[in-house]
Amino acid sequence: MVTIKQIAQEVGISSSTVSIVLGGKAAERKISTATQEKIFAAAARLGYQPNMAARSLRGGSGANELVVAMFWAQDFRASMMFRFWDGLRAEIEKTARPVRLVIYPYVNDHLKESEALTSGANCHAAIICNASYADLQFLEDTQLPIPVVLYNRVCNGYCSVNVDDLKMGALAARAFADQGCRTAAVLTSSPVFEGMENRMHGFRLEGEQHGLTILANRYCENSIRGGYEAVSHRLRHEWKQQLPDAVFCGSSAIAHGALRAFCEAGYIDEKLPRLIAVGNGPEESDAFSIPSLSVVYLPMEDMARECIQLVLGQLDGRIATAESRLLPIEYVPRESCGPLTEYAAQ
């Protein structure tokens, strides 16, 4: 099936412009006659057949409504979706045109099986979250019929919104060093995308520069239970004689489980190792845990806002080429680990 993206490549213009012309909106968007003729000629030459299901999205009482699909992986990150969703809703409330969000759960490595994405029949654009290595390869090899924005991933030809994952790990290592820690353990889940590996790599590189001895990574289920069971096991074995000074957790959930295990074993107050997590859970849960959890904060809501901005920019023709946005991150000190020095925070 010939797609709008293929026609755009044939003519050398943006997919959103092709979509506007083929959707009958060229006059109101003031697209030149010459451009329209090029698009229609290319569509005829390539044998383009309009998607009637997609056209129905633009008809009837909801003719002005945009349908944006949010693809979210069905795994340990399901609980994180609400922060991202809140960011999307907050940004959509600022837009003049009505936008309807639709959630499409998918299984990692199987994004290619989503007909809604490959056909473009049920939505005008998509935001893809939590794509695996295999999913990214599928996206790079495929010409999709609708504009797509990637959350926290990078792929050739696609707009994306990201953070500096190396810096996330580095900030945690600096904070531990500032607290006088000499040994640090890493507690995380098996990496499912490059960013997870980069966080741990950044932690190790920065830690070594500050004289931290970094113990081997320990892997667990990415959940509160996973963190609890992992720490409980290590307290009975390799940490029985000597605790690390600090523990860097790959997620807020793992850290909350770790705190529970330390507490049950009697490691509280001064006895508790310094602890920092990648702050990808609800901020309130981190702020009101006992002790409150220090995090390198993942700005999920802000990233969601940027994603929807990129979607709307592609649909109305303001963004014609793949654009990547890198958002700033920050270390949020709480009771589980103190602040950075002014020098280290820079």
Is pLDDT above 60 for 60?
A: no
**Cα separation of 300 and 150, whole Å?**
13
Q: List, for residues 95-105, the tens digit of each pLDDT value.
A: 888 898 988 98
The predicted pLDDT at position 169 comes to 97
State percent of the chain over pLDDT 70: 91
Look at 7-11, 44-48, 229-233 and tell me which has the smallest mean pLDDT: 44-48
Q: Provide the pairing of β-strand 66-73 with 99-106.
A: parallel
The predicted pLDDT at position 1 comes to 58
Do residues 122 and 162 touch, judged by C-beta distance below 8 A? no
Dihedral sign of CA atoms 228, 230, 236, 242 in order: negative
Confidence bin at 44 (pLDDT 50/70/90): low
The predicted pLDDT at position 24 comes to 62
Q: Which two tokens stand for residue 246?
A: 């600090």
Number of CB atoms found within 10 A of residue 32's CB: 9
Is pLDDT above 70 for 201?
A: yes
Spell out the SS3 assignment of the chain: CCCHHHHHHHHCCCHHHHHHHHCCCCCCCCCCHHHHHHHHHHHHHHCCCCCHHHHHHCCHHHCCCEEEEEEEECCHHHHHHHHHHHHHHHHHCCCCCCEEEEEEEECCCCHHHCHHHHHCCCCCEEEEECCCHHHHHHHHHCCCCCCEEEECCCCCCCEEEEECHHHHHHHHHHHHHHCCCCEEEEEECCCCCHHHHHHHHHHHHHHHHCCCEECCCEECCCCHHHHHHHHHHHHHCCCCCCCCCEEEECCHHHHHHHHHHHHHCCCCHHHCCEEEEEECCCHHHHHCCCCCCEEEECCHHHHHHHHHHHHHHHHCCCCCCCCEEEECCEEECECCECCCCCCCCC
Q: List, for residues 243-284, the tens digit of each pLDDT value.
A: 999 999 999 999 999 999 999 999 988 899 999 999 999 999
Token pair 């390539």 in the structure block, residue: 46
Q: Provide the pairing of β-strand 183-188 with 213-214.
A: parallel
The predicted pLDDT at position 270 comes to 85
The predicted pLDDT at position 57 comes to 46
Is pLDDT above 50 for 54?
A: no
Q: List, for residues 279-321, the tens digit of each pLDDT value.
A: 999 999 999 999 999 999 999 999 999 999 999 999 888 898 8
Is pLDDT above 50 for 137?
A: yes
Query: What are the structural domains, with CATH classification, of the chain?
Result: 1-50 (1.10.260.40), 53-163+301-329 (3.40.50.2300), 165-299 (3.40.50.2300)
Confidence bin at 42 (pLDDT 50/70/90): confident
What rounded mean pLDDT belongs to the chain?
88
Is pLDDT above 70 for 69?
A: yes
> What backbone phi and psi angles, to 5 degrees, belong to 140?
-65, -30
Q: Which two tokens stand for residue 205?
A: 């590189």
Is pLDDT above 80 for 332?
A: yes
Is pLDDT above 70 for 55?
A: no
Q: List, for residues 228-237, the tens digit of each pLDDT value.
A: 999 999 999 9
More confident residue, 115 or 206: 206
Report the DSSP beta bridge partners of residue 184: 214, 246
